[in-house]
Amino acid sequence: MANALRALAMDAVEQAKSGHPGLPMGAADVATVLFTRFLKFDATDPAWPDRDRFVLSAGHGSMLIYALLHLLGYEKMTIEEIKRFRQLGSITPGHPENFLTPGVETTTGPLGQGLGNAVGMAIAERHLAAVFGPELVDHHTYVLASDGDLMEGVSQEAIALAGHLRLNKLVVLFDDNGISIDGPLSLADSVDQMKRCEAAGWAARRIDGHDPEAVVAALEEAQSCDRPSLIACQTVIGFGAPSKAGTEKSHGSPLGSEEIKGARERLGWAEPAFAIPADVREMWRSAGSAGSAAHQAWSDRLKAAPAARRAEFERRIRGELPKDNVAAAVRSVKEKLAAAPKEVATRAASETALEALTAAVPEMMGGSADLTGSNNTRPKGMTVFSAHDYSGRFIHYGVREHGMAAAMNGMALHGGIIPYSGTFLVFSDYCRPAIRLGALAGERVIYVMTHDSIGLGEDGPTHQPIEHLAALRAMPNLYVFRPCDAVETIECWQLALEHSQSPSILALTRQNLPQLRLGIEKMNRCAAGAYEIVPAEKDAEVSLFATGSEVTIAVGAAKLLRERGIDARVVSVPCFELLQQRGDAERAGIIGTARVKVAVEAAVRQGWDEIIGPDGAFVGMTTFGASAPYKDLYKRFGITPENVAKAALSKLGKT
């Protein structure tokens, strides 16, 4: 059965003239034992909520999972798809993509991310089991990780977090082949991975990854372990290839026809390319349907569950918001703000928003990378998710931004959870690889990123984001929100929750801001991405555009211009991406036709030209910031109402 995986991997890579045969050939025995003896799944329903999750963290070995899905009888994974490996429009892309291929749990390729995702999946499983009971949620998360996965820094964060939380249903099969692209691992690494995991509170053992009985014994032990498990499976990369096995030459390129011929002889595999003997196919197929009884038993338990619990479970798994609850929560926050306007930092406004929203949306799970008090992400009464209480909804991720972001992707992918968490905006750099994969894979993950400009003040330039808004706005399928006051904050939160196929970032201030939106407005004005927050008196000569804390500055500038007899309007731009999605006419209407356009944002200009044009004036940052009280910094860098007014006047030729 394992040789069938090897043959398909060799043949598909050869046909595509690119790909990685080494890992699938080396890990074939381990994967065969896992999928035929342990993994709980049903090939006829890849989305069954209580299936075990399998994460191929070493995504370059994608042919392993495609061959498995094909042989197990996943309907969409036909032999034609295997033959179209890496071709346009196939469901067999170079690296696995969960949104393309039923049976693929997560998008992997950037090493280490899959392991981080798996920790999030294991968190989601424990939490949902605590909430809905083991009769509805009780499954394992298995990972196949390579040397590269374990060398990446994010793996340390993921391993430490999993050990601390005692995620005992997480099992990592380490493809311990001692080879990476440059050659033997000894060129670059001498870490004892077992000791590393043990130090983090895991169980670890080493086995011969080509001995099926050893794999069985290790997996049995892992299943009853009270800690996460690492099974270091010693394997030979490219197993079976006569001259390339055990070397980096089998890692990432086709073996070539001679080598494949030799491998077929060594493995005793007489079939032509892409052919599987009927008896082997039959054995794989029966493994593929073995889970149907467990699936049926689970469906019966779900049917027998009290109606309300069942409905709630199904709603959460569908990823459907309790819309009325959300609307009522947003309304109540807005009503309170209308009755008693608040001058608060948007991070504090976000806490108020979260108090209402997390009460209305029980699937929201919060957290922070050790900045809970600064990010304001833990609403009153939200209990902590810990090894002692998995029903808690707040995760202390520790100082592990990357691991946190990767885990949140896994929680969202698992289903039934809407993860959000916090750090400083400047540390979005530490999360970026995971944010990118979340955006690519279309996951609803919400980042509260506070201390969003020089407005954070005294902590200085290391902590002051400058290029981050532009860099994040450059990423496809990511919504970057920068609300200007408490009302915009609750509106942006609502939008982030409603975008079920995209991650969102809320960039929030440390410093207090006045409430600009007064009175009661039912409409979510931020939904347009930008809107006129201060209209022109008659005919605007100047349009001022701003986001977040700088909207107040723009409003001040508009006032100064009026004192000079110049009619100016102010447009708040809480979300570039939503503005871009408007139709041309609507967008043009929002941007307006004033002769002069000026934008103000305490960040770099990049990206603003699409609103103000190359002739527009920009007041913002061109250098790193500095350490000082924030009011001094705004003056030092010239981000003031006076300077904005001056920039407009200069464009009008009225200095």
Kindly list the catalytic residues.
401
Looking at 80, 134, 181, 586, which residue binds ligand TPP (CB under 6 A)? 181
Is residue 158 within the footprint of ligand TPP (CB under 6 A)?
A: no
Rounded alpha-carbon distances, angstroms, from residue 640 to 536, 621, 632, 633, 637: 21, 12, 11, 10, 9
Q: Which amino acid is at 276?
A: I
CB of 198: closest distance to ligand TPP in angstroms?
A: 21
Cα–Cα distance measured from residue 76 to residue 70, given in angstroms and rounded to the nearest whole number? 8
* E strand intervals along 28-79: 53-56
Is residue 147 within the footprint of ligand TPP (CB under 6 A)?
A: yes
* E strand intervals along 469-558: 479-481, 504-507, 512-513, 531-534, 542-546
Is residue 455 within the footprint of ligand TPP (CB under 6 A)?
A: no
In the sheet that holds 418-424, the strands lie side by side as 394-396, 364-368, 418-424, 446-450, 504-507, 479-481
Residue listed under structure tokens 């309304």: 331
How many CA atoms lie less than 13 Å away from 413 in the CB half-sphere? 38
Q: State the DSSP H helix or E strand holding residue 142, giving kind and residue range, or none if neither.
A: strand 141-146
Cα–Cα distance measured from residue 165 to residue 159, given in angstroms and rounded to the nearest whole number? 10
Is residue 60 within the footprint of ligand TPP (CB under 6 A)?
A: yes
Is residue 58 within the footprint of ligand TPP (CB under 6 A)?
A: yes
Cα–Cα distance measured from residue 23 to residue 179, given in angstroms and rounded to the nearest whole number? 10
Cα–Cα distance measured from residue 292 to residue 269, given in angstroms and rounded to the nearest whole number? 31
Give the 3-state secondary structure percentages of the chain, helix then strand then coil, rounded to 5. Answer: 45, 15, 40
With CB under 6 A as the contact rule, which of the stretches 85-93, 171-179, 554-562, 587-595 interacts with ligand TPP?
171-179
Nearest residue (CB) to ligand TPP, 61 versus 625:
61
Is residue 22 within the footprint of ligand TPP (CB under 6 A)?
A: yes
Is residue 9 within the footprint of ligand TPP (CB under 6 A)?
A: no
CB of 94: closest distance to ligand TPP in angstroms?
A: 10
With CB under 6 A as the contact rule, which of the stretches 178-186, 308-316, 445-453, 487-495 interacts with ligand TPP?
178-186
- Asked whether 43 and 295 are in contact (CB, 8 A), the reply is no
Is residue 445 within the footprint of ligand TPP (CB under 6 A)?
A: no
CB of 172: closest distance to ligand TPP in angstroms?
A: 13
Is residue 410 within the footprint of ligand TPP (CB under 6 A)?
A: no
Cα–Cα distance measured from residue 140 to residue 123, given in angstroms and rounded to the nearest whole number? 11
With CB under 6 A as the contact rule, which of the stretches 86-94, 109-117, 283-291, 345-353 interacts with ligand TPP?
109-117
Nearest residue (CB) to ligand TPP, 111 versus 555:
111
- Asked whether 27 and 235 are in contact (CB, 8 A), the reply is yes
49 by Cβ neighbours in 10 Å (0-12 / 13-18 / 19+) ranks as: buried
Looking at 3, 62, 146, 346, which residue binds ligand TPP (CB under 6 A)? 146
Nearest residue (CB) to ligand TPP, 176 versus 541:
176
Structure tokens at 577: 């991406």
CB of 82: closest distance to ligand TPP in angstroms?
A: 19
Nearest residue (CB) to ligand TPP, 222 versus 437:
437
With CB under 6 A as the contact rule, which of the stretches 176-184, 203-211, 277-285, 599-607 interacts with ligand TPP?
176-184
Q: How long a stretch of residues is the chain?
A: 655
Helix axes 257-267, 2-16, angle to 10 degrees: 170
Nearest residue (CB) to ligand TPP, 181 versus 191:
181
- Asked whether 462 and 326 are in contact (CB, 8 A), the reply is no
Residue listed under structure tokens 């200085």: 460
With CB under 6 A as the contact rule, which of the stretches 143-151, 192-200, 284-292, 576-584 interacts with ligand TPP?
143-151
- Asked whether 137 and 458 are in contact (CB, 8 A), the reply is no
- Asked whether 497 and 321 are in contact (CB, 8 A), the reply is yes
Cα–Cα distance measured from residue 485 to residue 337, given in angstroms and rounded to the nearest whole number? 10
Looking at 6, 227, 251, 347, which residue binds ligand TPP (CB under 6 A)? 251
- Cross-strand pairs, 367: 395
Closest CA to 65 of 257, 76, 282, 407: 76
Nearest residue (CB) to ligand TPP, 256 versus 362:
256
Looking at 110, 403, 529, 574, which residue binds ligand TPP (CB under 6 A)? 110
- Asked whether 21 and 13 are in contact (CB, 8 A), the reply is yes
Nearest residue (CB) to ligand TPP, 139 versus 251:
251
Is residue 246 within the footprint of ligand TPP (CB under 6 A)?
A: no
CB of 95: closest distance to ligand TPP in angstroms?
A: 8
Nearest residue (CB) to ligand TPP, 437 versus 551:
437
- Asked whether 363 and 416 are in contact (CB, 8 A), the reply is yes
CB of 112: closest distance to ligand TPP in angstroms?
A: 6
Give the CB-nearest residue to ligand TPP.
148
CB of 176: closest distance to ligand TPP in angstroms?
A: 9
Nearest residue (CB) to ligand TPP, 93 versus 291:
93
Is residue 109 within the footprint of ligand TPP (CB under 6 A)?
A: yes
Is residue 188 within the footprint of ligand TPP (CB under 6 A)?
A: no
Nearest residue (CB) to ligand TPP, 235 versus 464:
235
Is residue 179 within the footprint of ligand TPP (CB under 6 A)?
A: yes
Structure tokens at 66: 């495609």
Is residue 156 within the footprint of ligand TPP (CB under 6 A)?
A: no
With CB under 6 A as the contact rule, which of the stretches 57-65, 126-134, 506-514, 557-565 interacts with ligand TPP?
57-65
DSSP 3-state assignment of 395? strand
Looking at 63, 237, 407, 466, which residue binds ligand TPP (CB under 6 A)? 237
Q: Which amino acid is at 571?
A: V
Looking at 46, 96, 148, 163, which residue binds ligand TPP (CB under 6 A)? 148
Is residue 180 within the footprint of ligand TPP (CB under 6 A)?
A: yes
Q: How many residues bind ligand TPP, per CB under 6 A? A: 19
Nearest residue (CB) to ligand TPP, 59 versus 529:
59
How far does CA 607 lie from the centroid of its chain?
24
Cα–Cα distance measured from residue 40 to residue 602, given in angstroms and rounded to the nearest whole number? 52
CB of 22: closest distance to ligand TPP in angstroms?
A: 5
- Chain residues binding ligand TPP by CB under 6 A are 22-23, 58, 60-61, 109-111, 146-148, 152, 175, 177, 179-181, 237, 251
